[in-house]
């Protein structure tokens, strides 16, 4: 694996005040809040229980994460209470607890949240904690930083390949998986003409900002493109991005896309694919097991996201992480660091990577993928041939920027802009205020 490509530490600028940004957050995530509060009153003579809020447990084989936690408890005497929910729910709950100052002791993080949480002082400076409690970070493949200080450690890394329903392609008369944008558009036309399935999906529900990253901008990176030039926003006049957004607009005009994109969530997109209603989707390889469990008869494979016609250079692969951090309100920071160190140890990290159909966050970890599904090995080969990229990780106000992109893209589809160039010019002016 191109581990050296993960070693690049992602940094962002100075932390600014952000208290007003989460003023509208609700008061959900009562479980995590109550669990965190309960640890505050626990007697020092009792065994310590730390809370770990994340979305990982539902995406792993049943009982797998609990088993890892149980082994940690057996070795350390520290109990771990899992607070688990699906990603979309976990995202809302974690943001809510951040606004309330009641985050779990250990919290699962997405890289696009890190700057905002650091600005709110919701998550701890891990550089300080690792130094204070003696955690060695030399084997970590990556650390997500703000102002030169680490706030998130990627535990495992995921690729986002193109999922392909081979039965739909056969029914439509598409003889080979598209490799270029024009081939993809030709395939979508055949699917529309010869099947009842939708061709592609853009899950752009207002709560699903990552639909911009994974199902939209990932195509830009696959074509060697970028929305940043020397740290500055580069949207207006960006020829690759303009052509890409124009292509998506054409997909919408021609009826190739799954209906209701402005209300479509990632989980609904996955459900459509599981039910054989969707020919292509870009999604995490982490969902391979759950998709097969939902529909064992589904025939599908993985492919690289098609590249822009004529592009022969290095391909970018959208990558995401299961990141981890420590809540600033935690009374058990030493115990929390001990748990993170355990998860990042070579043996445990290798086990977790294999269970999750992911790539390890410890450079010395050697996952045994021999029992993984053959499709994961295909995803691995695709990933190996590309360069990992995620320009949103650690970016200031990344979540807000993706929401702006989402709103303007829907505006383009609804006729608020004359074309992609006008939309990107507007988005450029919005993003320049953030970066």
Per-residue pLDDT tens digits of the chain, which is 435 residues long: 333 333 333 444 333 333 343 333 333 344 454 444 444 434 333 689 999 999 999 999 999 999 999 999 999 999 999 999 988 899 899 999 998 989 999 999 999 999 999 999 999 999 999 999 999 999 999 999 999 999 999 999 999 999 999 999 999 999 999 999 999 999 999 999 999 999 999 999 998 888 999 999 999 999 999 999 988 999 999 999 999 999 999 999 999 999 999 999 999 999 999 999 999 999 999 899 899 999 999 999 999 999 999 999 999 999 999 999 999 999 999 999 999 999 999 999 999 999 999 999 999 999 999 989 999 999 989 988 999 899 998 888 899 999 999 999 999 999 999 999 999 999 999 999 887
pLDDT of amino acid 46: 64
User: How many angstroms separate the CA atoms of 142 and 144, rounded?
Assistant: 7
pLDDT of amino acid 19: 38
User: How many angstroms separate the CA atoms of 95 and 93, rounded?
Assistant: 5
Question: 82 has which bridge partners?
Answer: 52
Phi, psi (deg, nearest 5) at residue 218: -55, -30
Nearest Cα to Cα of residue 299 among 281, 282, 279: 279
Nearest Cα to Cα of residue 318 among 291, 283, 288: 283
Q: Where are the alpha helices (DSSP H) in 308-419?
A: 333-343, 346-356, 374-384, 398-413
pLDDT of amino acid 207: 86
Pairing of strands 162-165, 149-159: unpaired
The structure tokens listed for 314 are: 């290095």
The structure tokens listed for 181 are: 């944008």
User: How many angstroms separate the CA atoms of 22 and 100, rounded?
Assistant: 9
Alpha carbons within 13 angstroms on the beta-carbon side of residue 243 total 15
Instruction: Specify the pTM.
Output: 0.81
Q: How far is CA 299 from the centre of its chain?
A: 25
pLDDT of amino acid 286: 87
User: How many angstroms separate the CA atoms of 87 and 320, rounded?
Assistant: 13
pLDDT of amino acid 34: 45
């Amino acid at each position: 694996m191109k581990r050296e490509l993960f070693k690049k530490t992602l940094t962002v600028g100075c932390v600014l005040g952000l208290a007003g940004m989460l003023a509208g957050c609700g008061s959900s995530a009562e479980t995590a809040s109550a669990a965190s509060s309960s640890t505050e009153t626990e007697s020092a003579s009792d065994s310590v229980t730390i809370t770990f809020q994340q979305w990982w447990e539902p995406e792993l084989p049943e009982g797998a994460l609990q088993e890892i936690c149980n082994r940690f408890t057996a070795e350390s005497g520290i109990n771990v209470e899992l607070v688990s929910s699906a990603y979309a729910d976990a995202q809302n709950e974690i943001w809510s607890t951040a606004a309330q100052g009641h985050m779990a002791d250990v919290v699962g993080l997405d890289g696009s949240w890190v700057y905002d949480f650091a600005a709110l002082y919701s998550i701890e400076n891990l550089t300080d904690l690792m130094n204070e409690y003696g955690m060695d970070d030399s084997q970590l493949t990556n650390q997500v930083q703000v102002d030169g200080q680490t706030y998130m450690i990627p535990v495992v890394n995921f690729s986002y390949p193109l999922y392909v329903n081979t039965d739909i392609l056969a029914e439509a008369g598409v003889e080979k998986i598209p490799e270029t944008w024009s081939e993809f558009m030709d395939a979508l036309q055949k699917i529309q003409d010869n099947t009842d399935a939708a061709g592609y999906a853009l899950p752009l529900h207002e709560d699903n900002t990552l639909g911009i990253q994974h199902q939209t901008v990932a195509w830009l990176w696959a074509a060697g493109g970028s929305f940043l030039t020397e740290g500055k926003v580069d949207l207006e006049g960006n020829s690759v991005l303009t052509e890409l957004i124009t292509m998506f607009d054409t997909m919408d005009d021609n009826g190739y896309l799954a209906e209701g994109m402005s209300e479509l969530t990632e989980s609904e997109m996955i459900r459509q694919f599981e039910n054989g209603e969707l020919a292509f989707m870009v999604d995490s390889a982490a969902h391979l097991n759950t998709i097969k469990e939902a529909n064992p008869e589904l025939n599908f494979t993985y492919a690289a996201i098609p590249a822009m016609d004529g592009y022969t250079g290095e391909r970018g692969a959208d990558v995401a992480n299961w990141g981890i951090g420590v809540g600033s309100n935690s009374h058990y920071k030493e115990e929390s660091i001990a748990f993170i160190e355990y998860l990042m140890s070579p043996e445990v990290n290798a086990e977790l990577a294999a269970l999750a159909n992911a790539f390890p966050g410890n450079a010395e970890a050697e996952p045994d993928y021999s029992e993984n599904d053959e499709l994961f090995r295909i995803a691995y080969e695709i990933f190996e041939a590309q360069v990992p990229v995620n320009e949103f990780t650690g970016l200031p106000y990344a979540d807000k920027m993706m929401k702006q992109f989402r709103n303007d893209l829907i505006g383009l589809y609804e006729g608020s802009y004359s074309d992609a160039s006008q939309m990107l010019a507007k988005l450029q002016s919005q993003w320049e205020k953030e970066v």
